Amino acid sequence: MAPQPIDQAGAQGLKAWLAAPVPSSPFQARMQQLSLKWWRLKANPAALFGLAIIVLIALTALFAPLIATHDIYAQDLTMRLQRPSAAHWFGTDELGRDIFSRLVFGARITLYIALLTAVIAAPLGLIVGTTSGYLGGWVDTVLMRIVDIFLAFPSLVLALAFVAALGPGIDHAIIAIALAAWPPIARLARAETLSIRKSDYIAAVRLQGASPLRIILGHVVPMCIPSVVVRITLNMASIILTAAGLGFLGLGAQPPSPEWGAMLASGREFILTNGWIAGIPGLAILVTSLAFNLFGDGLRDILDPRHG
Amino acid sequence: MSRTAIAASGHSSDPGRTIFPSWLKASGRTLASFAVTLLGLAALTFFIGRLLPLDPVVAVLGDNVTQEAYQAMYKQLGLDQPLYVQFGRYIWGVLHLDFGMALTTGKPVMADIARVFPATIELASVAIVIGTSLGIPLGVLSAMYRGSWLDQIVRVVGLIGYSAPNFWLGLMGLVLFYATLGWVGGPGRIDFTYEFDLEPVTGFLLIDSLLAGNWEMFGNAVSHIILPASILAFSSLAYISRMTRSFMMEQLSQEYVVTARVKGLSWARTVWGHAFRNIAVQVVTVVALSYAFLLEGAVLTETVFAWPGFGRYLTNALLAGDMNAVVGCTLLVGVIFVTLNLLCDLLYRVFDPRTR
């Protein structure tokens, strides 16, 4: 959401527009808030570094067919287990496939899992949490009890159990991880809602006759979104680690998919002689989850100053 | 069910409102919700067990069986009963610690778990000792010297501990410390030569070899456990030091710290003698929780190190589609998790007067 790069004269106008003491439209007010946040983010080099890596990985995933140097499924047994070289930047694996190209396409799978999980888990957690917090009473008791039960399992163990029941595969892994990821978000949204529902503006809306559904969706959910975004960004790292773990155990993405965890697992056999086959995908997982952690920490300082 | 009843009666002891102190009533409520959570855990694992796309009869007998044998097994597994009866039987079994037979080993799941669990407990215990003994001092020191190079290093180490996949760290550790440097023993709990020398007493190799007075074997077991335990400890070290740091920072901003300093107490004495006492209970809670999380980390670490523990048993059961074992293991982890949480909660109430 950075201000778009524009020419000098335009920049002056934009700067003035963003710095105007009294915004003339809701849009301008929103943009001013955004630019303020961007300035605060720019003051945090670690978070900016994390964001840069995330953008880089996203671009890699987007332009994977242009970046990859080899066909990721083409096997060439004469070229197996090659060391990194000019032809194969990160070497080749046990079937002679180019590791660099597979890594590039693997970024797609990793981001696909992370984003889809977030898209399933965040709204689910948000709806359950706000409903529970706003309505209170037995709805609250029942929903929070369910959340407690889900929280009673470490997320990897719960995801493993769901994958075992659903069968291995990347889509099942996503469902399993999402099922394990929504409860903390619900907890968070509920806590936010409990403080929001006492505010005057909610009382005003209620006096005007708005239904609970309308209040929750239109007036409570938007207030909870910043902290949920922070939470899900920080969760991305653990989602990526869980997905890689499932792939490593052979329960996530299946071969010949270039999922990083699965690549790591196939390189495990050659770990003592050809360490890079497992080393490189592991490094990619580490860098990606580190980037999300750095960015999430920075985002929390900006959007959620209370916990900073 | 009996546990629910006992806990519920503790909770609804309203006539005793004046007799029982408020913290006891709160504890009763906690126990009641503990019981409800346990029941929910059982329901969730039951549900997961029924999701299986595989026909459970086929899973037991294989797919070329006669119709009569199929029907007999169908009846024996109770699949002809309505779902609530099946659930009732399941709960009954769980209360008697009976999770059925494991398909992969042909033994009762509970016996399997009892056999493999000591290996995991041993690994997790060594890991928590390493993680705690490093994590707490590092957290306190980085709060004491906030913004210094030490603080920065602890922060970076913590971030890597949070972000690194521990199965990858395990593999890289094996390459470096076992294959290249030869400092530690390889995968497994102990070298093959010692495997059958030991009469298992406690199931913990470190203790058993000491009891037998076999120092050579003890040294070998240590060389095998040190690497997986350190790698497991890394993530709990990250968590413990981060939480300790933030608890400590909160205390150091309090006025009593200033008072102690003004009275002439040294910085170290103020921190360790006054502030640390106030965070001790919180830190113990964090340690207990990270012990629970070690069980999760163990699933992947044990696979990498061929550690014959609970995590590897669970993984094998998963890959074989052995749902009885998966459900048993999952439920056990859940119960341990909830129990540790409960203990932390009670600990808070008993030792921290501020919560009363």
Specify the pLDDT at position A11. Answer: 58
Q: Which residues pair with B101 in a beta bridge?
A: B108
Mean pLDDT for the stretch of residues B204-212: 80
pLDDT tens for B111-165 read 888 888 888 999 999 999 999 999 999 999 999 888 889 998 998 888 898 899 9
For residues A95 and A80, give the distance between their C-alpha atoms in angstroms, rounded to a whole number. 5
Tokens of B89: 């039987």
pLDDT band at B319 (very low <50, low <70, confident <90, very high): confident
From residue B104, how far is each of A118, B60, B300, B319 by CA, in Å? 35, 10, 20, 10
Specify the pLDDT at position A117. Answer: 93
Q: List CB contacts (< 8 A) between A298 and chain B.
A: none
B164 contacts A157? CB cut-off 8 A? no
Specify the pLDDT at position B322. Answer: 80
A220 and A196 Cβ atoms separated by less than 8 Å: yes
Mean pLDDT for the stretch of residues A124-128: 94
A156 contacts B296? CB cut-off 8 A? yes
For residues B218 and B213, give the distance between their C-alpha atoms in angstroms, rounded to a whole number. 9
Q: Residue A5 pLDDT more than 80?
A: no
Specify the pLDDT at position A182. Answer: 92
Going by C-beta distance under 8 Å and a sequence separation of 6 or more, which residues neighbour residue A185? A121, A122, A124, A125, A126, A129, A228, A231, A232, A235
Closest listed residue to residue A38, CA positions, set A25, A27, A28, A51: A51
Specify the pLDDT at position A26. Answer: 83
B318 contacts A275? CB cut-off 8 A? no
A41 and A47 Cβ atoms separated by less than 8 Å: yes
Q: Residue B348 pLDDT more than 50?
A: yes
Flag whether residue A294 sits within 8 Å of chain B, measured between CB atoms. Answer: yes
Mean pLDDT for the stretch of residues A90-108: 86
pLDDT tens for A228-284 read 888 888 889 889 999 999 989 888 888 888 899 888 888 888 877 777 888 899 999
pLDDT tens for A218-228 read 999 988 888 88
Let me know the angle formed at the C-alpha of B234 by B228 and B238, rounded to the nearest 5 degrees.
165
Instruction: Return the percentage of chain B with pLDDT > 90, whole number.
Output: 13
B154 and B257 Cβ atoms separated by less than 8 Å: no
Q: What is the DSSP string of B105-137?
A: TSSBHHHHHHHHHHHHHHHHHHHHHHHHHHHHH
Instruction: Return the percentage of chain A with pLDDT > 70, whole number.
Output: 94
Instruction: Return the percentage of chain A with pLDDT > 90, whole number.
Output: 30
pTM: 0.84
For residues B243 and B226, give the distance between their C-alpha atoms in angstroms, rounded to a whole number. 25
Question: Bigger pLDDT: B81 or B131?
Answer: B131
Q: Residue B12 pLDDT more than 60?
A: no
pLDDT tens for B96-105 read 888 877 877 8
For residues A256 and A269, give the distance between their C-alpha atoms in angstroms, rounded to a whole number. 16
Mean pLDDT for the stretch of residues B53-57: 66
The average confidence (pLDDT) of chain B is: 82
C-alpha torsion angle, residues A151, A155, A161, A165 (rounded to 10): 90
Mean pLDDT for the stretch of residues B255-275: 88
Kindly report whether the peptide bond that precedes residue A123 is cis, defined as omega within 30 degrees of 0: no
Going by C-beta distance under 8 Å and a sequence separation of 6 or more, which residues neighbour residue A184? A125, A151, A231, A235
Specify the pLDDT at position A289. Answer: 93
Mean pLDDT for the stretch of residues B247-265: 89
Mean pLDDT for the stretch of residues B311-336: 85
pLDDT tens for A45-84 read 888 999 999 999 999 999 988 888 888 787 777 777 778 8
Mean pLDDT for the stretch of residues B166-189: 86
Mean pLDDT for the stretch of residues B279-293: 87
pLDDT band at B338 (very low <50, low <70, confident <90, very high): confident
Question: Bigger pLDDT: B350 or A248?
Answer: A248
Flag whether residue B295 sits within 8 Å of chain A, measured between CB atoms. Answer: yes
Q: Which residues pair with A92 in a beta bridge?
A: A98
Q: Which amino acid is at A112?
A: Y
Q: Residue A307 pLDDT more than 70?
A: no
- Give which of A151, A160, A240 to mutate to test B binding, by max B Cβ within 10 Å: A160
Specify the pLDDT at position B16. Answer: 46
The average confidence (pLDDT) of chain A is: 85
DSSP type of residue A77: G
A262 and A252 Cβ atoms separated by less than 8 Å: yes
A162 contacts B48? CB cut-off 8 A? yes
Q: Which amino acid is at B294?
A: L
Specify the pLDDT at position B91. Answer: 84
For residues B32 and B6, give the distance between their C-alpha atoms in angstroms, rounded to a whole number. 8
Specify the pLDDT at position B68. Answer: 80
Task: Mark which residues 144-163 of B lie under 8 Å from A by CB.
Answer: 159-160, 162-163
Flag whether residue B315 sits within 8 Å of chain A, measured between CB atoms. Answer: yes
B138 and B241 Cβ atoms separated by less than 8 Å: yes
Candidates A146, A160, A245; nearest CB to B167: A245
pLDDT tens for A148-195 read 888 888 888 888 888 888 888 888 889 989 988 999 999 999 988 988
Specify the pLDDT at position B19. Answer: 66
pLDDT band at B54 (very low <50, low <70, confident <90, very high): low
Q: List CB contacts (< 8 A) between A244 and chain B.
A: 165
Flag whether residue B323 sits within 8 Å of chain A, measured between CB atoms. Answer: yes
B51 contacts A282? CB cut-off 8 A? no
A239 and A117 Cβ atoms separated by less than 8 Å: yes
B333 contacts A157? CB cut-off 8 A? yes
First to last CA, chain B: 30
Question: Bigger pLDDT: B159 or B200?
Answer: B159
For residues A176 and A147, give the distance between their C-alpha atoms in angstroms, rounded to a whole number. 15
Closest listed residue to residue A190, CA positions, set A127, A117, A124, A123: A127
- The sign of the CA dihedral B101, B106, B111, B114 is negative
Tokens of A162: 């769901």
Specify the pLDDT at position A306. Answer: 55
B38: closest chain A residue by CA: A149
Specify the pLDDT at position B227. Answer: 92
